[in-house]
Each structure stands twice: as structure tokens, then as C-alpha cells.
């Protein structure tokens, strides 16, 4: 018998790994199991809607899912439609690539007030992830605070700041456009506990803030170091580019455009203010000691009506799968979870790195899988037939790759002129579409 592998998660990490195993395991069956009807993970639900070039990676992933020995099983959730132990018994190897979707919390007073949102939820909302379709964020106008100093924080600021015309060629969802384009924002605060040298955003993302039509980026020049020193050459080049961009922002005049983006460094949130909803944010100035942000005791307040946190994510625990609660990720040793079970991507190492980093991670874990399978007897697990039997017995509604192509075509077909797609944002909508497609196919 040929060996069978289940890859749980159809994002970049899972699909990079599936491609390697499908190529190198002669005759193997590789089943990609995804809880949503749609593949591609955060390429679809996390990449900014105005970064369409980044999303072109899906063409490579489509080729993987169309390989003869790869099968896509969408709308199948481990823990709901099939159990962890059932997968272990059915497949020679099971690899989890389920990402990290849960927002980390600040742990400060007032965080539970209406008007505070995690970046994962907020980005998922405007990108059409069904999990967050009903988030209904309030943007009453005035000022928004975004807490975080990475590319996600910059993405949030840019999407909030762009005009309707600037987002006309994006795949920003209709329900989000209605909210964002009616918001009357005057100020966006980007807040980091440490300084520019410790920020993790890239020069490319930072530069985009300087090219916005209706927003001007501003920064206090006294917070910008004179130079980046003592770093590896590649890292030093990146930091120097960031510093040069920030110096340009420091020279901007706030009255140039109707919306101001303030980059605040060395400021740590200590409390969200308000009674019924967000009315402000209390921050504490910090000092840097050995790259760490230490409190100074000096506080100040910002009159903001919305707070978005972009401080990292956790993976969701799956019943039966070993989980490291403290780190918020699958418990593993270098990618191995327990015999025959592996983890890759953000659920293995935490939410670090961009899409290419997930490729590197997936290639490394694929080598572990290949090494372990080479030491075992020829495949003697039922694999795909067992999965399909369990799903049929439980009345699950798995979505095939052909089904996804029907969803994809419908999304493209209903988009406004100039937009690549108008996403379906509810699972029920997608399944209803597929029901109509199947009925039409049967009736000719």
C-alpha cells in the first residue's frame, strides 16, 4: 500500500509542505483538510486587500491542489467533523498547519470595553473571514489608536487612511467598505513600547504611509536615533532605511492633509478609558534599557474612540492535540509532536515571519516527515477512504477543489468593475452556491 498523509490547514505552511510530500513520496496520497470552504489561509484572510501582488502566490498553491495525488477537503474541521485520534489511526502521518488566529490580550484595565478590537479579528472582518463577519466594529470618528510596531499595525493604519479611490482595485469586502468609507477619522496613532530600532515593520510597508493621498505621517524627531549600530549587515540596512523614512516623516507638517498618522515610540498602554465604550487611552512613557522597554511612571492620555491591538496571536487548541498553553501553540520538539504527528508554520513556532518564512519552516518539517516515514513499513493505514467514510457518516459537507473553483468564479463574477473579487463572507452562502451548482449540473 502507498503511504497516506493528512495536512491540516490549507494556508501557505500546509500547502508548501503538501507540495514537497506529493513530489517526493512516490504514489502517496496527500489529503489537505481545511475547516473553511476556502483554501489559502491568511493569503486570503490576512494579507492586506490592497496588496494584490502578494496574493499571486495562490497560483502556485492552486497547482499543488490540482496534483493527482493531492485532495482538498474544505469545510472539514478537526474536532468537529473528525477527531484527532481518528486522523492518527487513519494516516501514516498527520501534519498540523493551522496557523494562529486568536488575538493576544494586552492585560490592562478597560480592555473589555466596546470599541477595543484585536488585529486578527479586525483584519479578518475587512478581509471577509467568516469567523469575524459579524464583528461590526464601531468607528465613530475622531481618533483611532493602533497598538503595535509591526507590518500588521502599518497595514491597519494604511487601510483606515486610504480613500475610496485608493482602494478601488482592492478586494476589500463590501460590508467593510460601507463602514470604513463613512468613518470621519482625523487622527491615527501607531503606538510602540520601544523605539524605531526595535520596531519590526519593513521599509517597504513604512514607505507606503508616505504615499497616501489624504493622510500625512508624523513622528517626533527626538525619538529617532542618529544611526543603527552593532547589527548584522542585512538587519542594519533595513533599520537605516526605516530611520531615513522616519526622518522624512518628522519634517512633515500636520496641516498638509486632513488625516494625520502619528507614530508614537516608547509609549506603553496602561489603561483603556471609558464607561460604556472607549473614550481614551492612557499610556506610559518608557525608557530603553538593553533593548527592553522599562516604565518611567510618566503617563499621558489620548482622546481616542477606537483601539486596535496588533501585539501578536495564539493558536487555537484542538481536542487531543498536545498544546503549549503558555506559548499559545502546538506542543512540539522541532516540528515533531508525537509519533506520526507534526506541526509547521505559526502553530509550530508562533506568529513570526512572513509567507517565505513559512515556506522555509514547511520544508524543514517535510524533511522530518520523509525521514520518519522512510523508517516505517510500507503504508498500512486506510487514509482517504477512512476520512471520507467518517465524513459521510456524520453528515459533513466537504468542499472539493472543484467546488472552490466554483466559489472563486462566482466571487470574481460578482465584483464591481476594477475589483478582483467580491468575497462570500459566510459559509452558508458558499454552501448554498454549491448546492445550486450541483443541482444545475444534475439537471443539465
260 is in an annotated binding site: no
Q: What is the C-alpha to C-alpha distance for residues 181 and 153, in angstroms, rounded to an integer?
A: 19
| Residue 58, phi-psi category: left (phi > 0), alpha (psi -120 to 50), beta (remainder) | alpha
88 is in an annotated binding site: no
164 is in an annotated binding site: no
Cβ-contact 348, 8 below 8 angstroms:
no
78 is in an annotated binding site: yes
Rounded (5°) CA angle 152-154-159? 95
13 is in an annotated binding site: yes
Tell me if residue 179 falls in helix, strand or coil. helix
Q: What is the C-alpha to C-alpha distance for residues 236 and 258, in angstroms, rounded to an integer?
A: 34
125 is in an annotated binding site: no
416 is in an annotated binding site: no
8 is in an annotated binding site: no
Q: What is the C-alpha to C-alpha distance for residues 306 and 280, in angstroms, rounded to an integer?
A: 8
CA distances from 238 to 193, 198, 244, 264, 292 (A): 20, 11, 10, 20, 20
Mode of pairing for the β-strands spanning 306-309 and 116-118? parallel
355 is in an annotated binding site: yes
Mode of pairing for the β-strands spanning 313-314 and 102-103? antiparallel
149 is in an annotated binding site: yes
56 is in an annotated binding site: no
Tell me if residue 165 falls in helix, strand or coil. coil
Cβ-contact 90, 76 below 8 angstroms:
no
| CA-CA-CA-CA dihedral for 239, 241, 243, 245, to nearest 10 | -150
Cβ-contact 77, 396 below 8 angstroms:
no
Which has the closest alpha carbon to 49: 429, 425, 424, 420? 420
194 is in an annotated binding site: yes
CA distances from 152 to 148, 155, 316, 390 (A): 8, 5, 20, 39
Cβ neighbors of 145 (< 8 A, separation 6 or more) are 189, 191, 269, 281, 302, 304, 306, 307, 308
**Annotated binding residues:** 13, 34, 42, 78, 149-152, 193-194, 346, 353-355
Q: Which parts are annotated binding residues for FAD?
A: 13, 34, 42, 78, 346, 353-355
- Known binding-site residue numbers for NADP(+): 149-152, 193-194, 353
Amino acid at each position: 500500500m502507498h503511504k497516506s498523509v493528512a495536512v491540516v490547514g490549507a494556508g501557505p505552511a500546509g500547502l508548501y509542505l503538501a507540495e514537497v510530500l506529493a513530489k517526493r513520496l512516490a504514489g502517496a496520497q496527500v489529503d489537505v483538510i481545511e475547516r473553511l470552504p476556502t483554501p489559502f489561509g491568511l493569503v486570503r484572510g490576512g494579507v492586506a486587500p490592497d496588496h494584490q501582488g502578494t496574493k499571486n502566490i495562490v497560483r502556485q498553491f492552486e497547482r499543488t491542489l490540482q496534483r493527482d495525488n493531492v485532495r482538498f477537503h474544505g469545510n472539514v474541521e478537526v474536532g468537529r467533523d473528525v477527531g484527532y485520534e481518528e486522523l492518527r489511526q487513519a494516516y501514516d502521518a498527520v501534519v498540523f498547519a493551522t496557523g494562529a488566529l486568536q488575538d493576544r490580550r494586552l492585560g490592562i484595565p478597560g480592555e473589555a470595553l466596546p470599541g477595543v478590537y484585536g488585529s486578527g479579528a479586525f483584519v479578518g472582518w475587512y478581509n471577509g473571514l467568516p469567523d469575524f463577519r459579524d464583528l461590526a466594529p464601531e468607528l465613530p470618528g475622531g481618533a483611532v489608536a493602533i497598538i503595535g510596531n509591526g507590518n500588521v499595525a502599518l497595514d491597519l493604519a494604511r487601510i483606515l487612511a486610504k480613500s475610496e479611490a485608493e482602494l478601488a482595485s482592492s478586494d476589500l469586502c463590501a460590508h467593510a467598505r460601507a463602514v470604513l468609507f463613512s468613518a470621519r477619522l482625523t487622527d491615527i496613532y501607531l503606538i510602540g513600547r520601544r523605539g524605531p530600532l526595535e520596531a519590526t515593520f519593513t521599509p517597504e510597508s513604512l514607505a507606503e504611509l508616505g504615499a497616501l493621498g489624504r493622510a500625512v505621517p508624523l513622528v517626533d524627531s527626538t525619538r529617532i536615533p542618529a544611526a543603527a549600530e552593532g547589527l548584522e549587515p542585512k538587519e542594519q540596512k533595513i533599520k537605516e532605511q526605516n530611520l531615513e523614512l522616519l526622518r522624512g516623516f518628522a519634517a512633515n507638517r500636520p496641516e498638509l492633509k486632513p488625516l494625520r498618522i502619528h507614530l508614537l515610540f516608547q509609549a506603553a498602554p496602561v489603561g483603556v478609558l471609558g464607561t460604556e465604550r472607549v473614550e481614551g487611552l492612557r499610556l506610559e512613557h518608557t525608557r530603553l534599557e538593553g533593548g527592553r522597554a522599562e516604565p518611567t511612571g510618566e503617563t499621558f492620555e489620548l482622546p481616542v474612540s477606537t483601539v486596535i491591538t496588533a501585539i501578536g496571536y495564539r493558536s487555537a487548541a484542538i481536542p487531543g492535540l498536545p498544546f503549549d498553553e503558555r506559548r499559545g501553540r502546538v506542543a512540539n520538539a522541532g516540528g515533531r509532536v508525537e509519533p506520526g504527528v507534526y506541526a509547521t508554520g505559526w502553530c509550530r513556532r508562533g506568529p513570526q515571519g512572513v509567507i517565505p518564512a513559512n515556506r522555509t519552516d514547511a520544508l524543514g518539517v517535510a524533511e522530518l516527515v520523509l525521514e520518519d516515514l522512510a523508517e516505517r513499513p510500507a503504508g498500512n493505514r486506510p487514509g482517504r477512504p477512512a476520512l471520507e467514510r467518517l465524513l459521510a457518516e456524520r453528515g459533513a459537507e466537504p468542499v472539493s477543489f472543484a467546488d472552490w473553483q466554483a466559489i472563486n468564479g462566482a466571487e470574481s463574477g460578482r465584483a464591481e468593475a476594477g475589483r478582483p473579487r467580491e468575497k462570500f463572507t459566510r459559509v452558508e452562502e458558499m454552501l448554498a452556491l454549491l448546492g445550486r451548482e450541483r443541482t444545475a449540473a444534475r439537471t443539465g
